[in-house]
Amino acid sequence: MLANFGIGTLARGRLHSRSVPPIYGPGGWRWTSHSPTGSGPEGSSPNELRFGSLVSLPPNFNPDTDAPGGCRPMNDATTPDDANAPGLDLGVPGGASGYRVLARKYRPANFDDLIGQDAMVRTISNAFESGRIPQAWILTGVRGVGKTTTARILARALNYQLPDGSVAGPTVKMPVLGINCQAIMESRHVDVLEMDAASHNSVDDIRQINDAVRYAPVSARYKVYILDEVHMLSGAAFNALLKTLEEPPPHAKFIFATTEIRKVPVTVLSRCQRFDLRRVEAGVLVAQLESIAAKEKISAEAEALALIARAAEGSVRDALSLLDQAIAHAAGSVRAEDVRQMLGLADRSRVIDLFEALMKGDIAGALKELRDQYDAGADPAVALTDLAEFTHFVTRVKIVPAVADDRSLAEVERTRGRAFAAALSMRVLSRTWQMLFKGIPEVQSAAKPIAAAEMVLVRIAYAADLPTPDEVVRLLATGESAAASPARRNGDTAATTARIEAPRDPPRGGPRAALAPSAPQVREPAVAEAAPGANMVTLARFEDLIALAAEKRDLATKAALERDLRLVRFEPGRLEVALESNAAKTLVGDLARKISQWTGRRWMVVVSGEQGQPTIRSQNEARRAELEHGVQSDPLVKAVLAQFPGAQIVAVREGAQEIVPPSPEIEGDVMPPEPPIDDDSSVFVERMRDEDLGEDR
């Protein structure tokens, strides 16, 4: 009879009396909605409506004070035992727990308390003020940014009412606790139903929602359904929800929360207003942690809070949990050293020292610093991750200097980061990042992580000694050697210091600091040493080089010089060219090697970004076309060609020089030019031309 009475009471529609006492059964049982998980009010504890379910009352439940119509004054720190304790009361029974974690204690109770989500708050506020309230919202974002909290605040704003009836509709301005607020924030209101879609993802669960949604709310203005982790619903469950979601009753609202928005069908997304909750910036997190530490009367160093904010990665819940742990770990004042020990982090200044040693190429110093951090308890993979993070920071500062003004960063990190950004080239930073990015997985999967980490540092330090292309050009221009000095390998710190102070003039024989100025991106020049004992041959112009290739009977090189290269500059020992699109990839290196062998001196072939002159073949073809056009316009030649139909001009001689058409190629080998066709017409044309030239003389 009890079950039948409950169904009949709810089926009649909305109950207008707010003071109806709960229905009790034998032994102190109360008729209520079913909580499938049986969890407490924090987190995502669903209240799925299943008729005929009975749960036991808390030991200290008072029907007079905890009835849905009861009202309490709003206090950010109200608890059943102490009305002056900080934080929002989330329904922890008195005496059940003497301490609430900071993540629950300082959970936002209204939109003004939300941090880092200004765009969403502004949109929702404008929608409420204009009365443009949708039937469904979907909230997405990473862990701990306030998805479930925002859903409860939305439910509270939709059902905000005061005992005097002064609030007639939904509002985002909730200065005091309303009639339904406490029950909604404690996840125990009969009209605000939370369901964990991860554990209730079947069609049957959605069918119960479809069956119950048509009934009017019992005591609130709207019946609100909050589905957490909605992406875990099955495909059939999503399909079963579509019709209700598209055309719900006027009294029903849906709020979905998910961390995997891509797994939600587009048919569901198109029926909801979507809000992407962003990660909270580190500076905002630090300010929030400072405020909470002050409320808790805990002394905390600014650097310690910055470390916590950085480790939280934009999650407010993670930051508060880490602060809770740091307070317990320090047993008093929260210091940066305690936080580093707790998180297994290395001192930030020591990470920067390790970075500086690597950029100097001081391998011995880098290995010693890494070993000292390892002995102090730092994880080698974490040390390399911090090193990669600092490399990324320096790169960002080099591109956007304002990045160094972030207050969540330590002063030493900002100061030295600016110095490194001014001294290091983008190529060096990119190369270091790539080597760290590939080396960290090796360290994580190695049997001995410290050994793998040391090998990664060795590779980076030796790579720092490699010259960049612009440095190679400069060193060759000054006649200096680009090879690394053995002193670099031995950690010559004096020469290293000189290299840092003068990055544009690297001392010969000293260790490099990999601080090279940026230069236009060109291909690395191909440099070849002269063959020992070769005869010295002087080349004054590009045409001399082509003649030398013909003299050496290297027809393939000669054809490549004429066809694939556009001359930009020609200097003794240096050839700067632009390549055609069909040029061979090995042409530059092969050409430098052959020229050095032929001339007996070192030659450098550089690929330039300039357009350059037309190729020799293009110039010859243009000249030949011009001469042929001039000859064809000659009246005598026209008469001859008209007299002998089918005759063609196969060659045009100007003095002793003959312009011939380009020779065909077979499989990369250059064939010699074909001789002129020896027929009567061609001989007659040439003879007539010679006679004509003789008369002119």
pLDDT in tens, 337-395: 888 878 766 677 888 889 998 888 888 989 998 998 888 778 899 889 989 999 999 99
Residue 110 has pLDDT above 50, yes or no: yes
> Average pLDDT, stretch 312-341?
87
Residue 61 has pLDDT above 50, yes or no: no
Output the pLDDT for position 138: 94
The dihedral built from the CA positions of residue 327, 333, 335 and 337, taken in this order, carries a sign that is negative
Residue 209 has pLDDT above 80, yes or no: yes
Written as six digits, the tokens of 68 are 């849905």
Residue 236 has pLDDT above 90, yes or no: yes
CB 408 within 8 A of CB 282: yes
pLDDT digits (tens, 9 = 90+) for 605-623: 888 888 888 888 888 888 8
Output the pLDDT for position 62: 44
Helix axes of 147-158 and 118-130: crossing angle, nearest 10 degrees: 20
Between 459 and 537, the higher pLDDT residue: 459
How far apart are alpha carbons 652 and 273 in whole angstroms? 79
Q: How confident is the model at residue 447 (pLDDT cuts 50, 70, 90)?
A: very high
The residues with which 578 forms a beta bridge, in sequence order, are 566
60, 571, 598, 604, 608 from 588: Cα distances, Å:
87, 16, 15, 9, 12
Written as six digits, the tokens of 568 are 């930009």
Residue 549 has pLDDT above 50, yes or no: yes
Percent of the chain whose pLDDT exceeds 70: 69
Output the pLDDT for position 475: 67
Q: What one-character DSSP code corresponds to residue 661?
A: P
Going along the chain from its start, the domains and CATH numbers come out as 2-276 (3.40.50.300), 281-343 (1.10.8.60), 344-519 (1.20.272.10), 526-613 (no CATH), 631-696 (no CATH)
- Where is 170: in which H helix or E strand? none
Output the pLDDT for position 225: 94
Output the pLDDT for position 292: 92
634 contact partners, CB below 8 Å, separation of at least 6:
none
Output the pLDDT for position 655: 57
Output the pLDDT for position 608: 82
Output the pLDDT for position 213: 92
Output the pLDDT for position 632: 77
DSSP string, 394-431: HHHHHH-GGGGG-TTS-HHHHHHHHHHHHHS-HHHHHH
296, 389, 419, 421, 528 from 457: Cα distances, Å:
43, 15, 22, 20, 31
CA angle 220, 221, 227 (to 5 degrees): 75
Output the pLDDT for position 317: 92
Output the pLDDT for position 254: 95
Residue 93 has pLDDT above 50, yes or no: no
Output the pLDDT for position 528: 53
> Average pLDDT, stretch 419-445?
90
- Where is 666: in which H helix or E strand? strand 665-666
> Average pLDDT, stretch 431-454?
92
- The Cβ of residue 629 has, within 10 Å, a number of other Cβ atoms equal to 9
Which three-class secondary structure state does DSSP give residue 564? coil
> Average pLDDT, stretch 595-601?
83
Residue 683 has pLDDT above 80, yes or no: no
Phi, psi of 399 (to 5 degrees): -85, -45
CA 263 to chain centre: 21
How far apart are alpha carbons 50 and 684 in whole angstroms? 111
Output the pLDDT for position 582: 81
Q: How confident is the model at residue 467 (pLDDT cuts 50, 70, 90)?
A: low
Given the structure tokens 């236009």, which residue do they identify?
Answer: 520
Output the pLDDT for position 14: 40
- The Cβ of residue 233 has, within 10 Å, a number of other Cβ atoms equal to 28
The rounded mean pLDDT for the chain is: 74
Written as six digits, the tokens of 20 are 């109806």
Written as six digits, the tokens of 245 are 């979601």
Q: How confident is the model at residue 72 (pLDDT cuts 50, 70, 90)?
A: very low
Written as six digits, the tokens of 515 are 């601080």
Written as six digits, the tokens of 130 are 């204009």
Which three-class secondary structure state does DSSP give residue 21? coil
How far apart are alpha carbons 338 and 475 in whole angstroms? 49
How far apart are alpha carbons 576 and 500 in whole angstroms? 31
Percent of the chain whose pLDDT exceeds 90: 23
DSSP string, 423-463: HS-HHHHHHHHHHHHHHHHHHHH-SSHHHHHHHHHHHHHHH
pLDDT digits (tens, 9 = 90+) for 496-516: 343 343 334 443 333 344 444
Among the ranges given (31-40, 109-118, 291-300, 632-641), the one the predictor scored with the smallest mean pLDDT: 31-40
Output the pLDDT for position 207: 92
Output the pLDDT for position 472: 67
Output the pLDDT for position 272: 92
The dihedral built from the CA positions of residue 481, 486, 487 and 491, taken in this order, carries a sign that is positive
Best-predicted range by mean pLDDT (20-29, 77-86, 274-283): 274-283
Q: Would you call 95 exposed, middle or buried from its count of C-beta atoms within 10 A (0-12, 13-18, 19+)?
A: exposed
Among the ranges given (5-19, 290-304, 431-445, 522-536), the one the predictor scored with the smallest mean pLDDT: 5-19
Q: How confident is the model at residue 204 (pLDDT cuts 50, 70, 90)?
A: very high
Residue 661 has pLDDT above 90, yes or no: no
Residue 410 has pLDDT above 80, yes or no: no
DSSP string, 175-195: -S--TTHHHHHTT--TTEEEE
> Average pLDDT, stretch 93-118?
79
Output the pLDDT for position 274: 93
pLDDT digits (tens, 9 = 90+) for 551-564: 888 888 888 888 88
Closest CA to 384 of 307, 450, 463: 450
Phi, psi of 64 (to 5 degrees): -75, -40
pTM value?
0.51
Q: Are strands 574-579 and 603-607 parallel, antiparallel or unpaired?
A: parallel
Output the pLDDT for position 373: 86
Residue 155 has pLDDT above 80, yes or no: yes
